[in-house]
Structure 1
């Protein structure tokens, strides 16, 4: 899966499932501060990522993920 495919899938579920406004979705966007993702959203993200990308997010691995770009990097590191 390419980086572009990952970014497109992530953007689609952020808009469709988490109802984040498209203008708030950009690489440097902070997940909590800019996009408003809270702890309940993280639960949804875990389920969505498993469904779309085929792996389980480990909470301890997400502690360093602060921006959307870092989230893309994390997914890319898991799906190769």
Structure 2
């Protein structure tokens, strides 16, 4: 894992713990994001807004098509950040 991705992972996990009261112990890169977080659709909207404002990226519904695990989510945000820098 590169340094930039480590920072992304750390920040996302911090957001999940602080904003969504997720126990840090349940967050693992290979766990299923939806099952672990148990967020409803409004929570997902909140998550998207918070992630967009913290990372300066724009997320759309289709971005989540292949997101199953926390690692998939971290990778998505990293790709969005890197594509913004191009």
Q: What TM-score, normalized by structure 2, do the two folds share?
A: 0.86
Report if the CA contact (8 A) 1:32-1:38 is conserved.
Answer: no
Partner residue in 2 for 1:42: 44
The separation in 2 between residues aligned to 1:24 and 1:34, in whole angstroms, is 7
Structure 2: distance between partners of 1:35 and 1:29: 10
Q: Which runs of 5+ in 1 are unaligned?
A: none
| Equivalent position of 2:21 in the other structure | 19
Distance 2:31 2:64 in 1: 16
State the structure with more CA Rg: 2
1:73 maps to which of 72, 75, 79: 75
Give the structure with the higher percent helix.
2
Q: Spell out, residue by residue over 1:44-64, the C-alpha distance to the aligned partner (whole angstroms, 9 max, x if none).
A: 111111111001111111121
Root-mean-square deviation (Å): 1.3
The number of residue pairs the alignment matches comes to: 80
Unpaired runs of 5+ residues, structure 2, are none
Moved over 3 A (4+): none
State the match for 2:65 in structure 1.
63
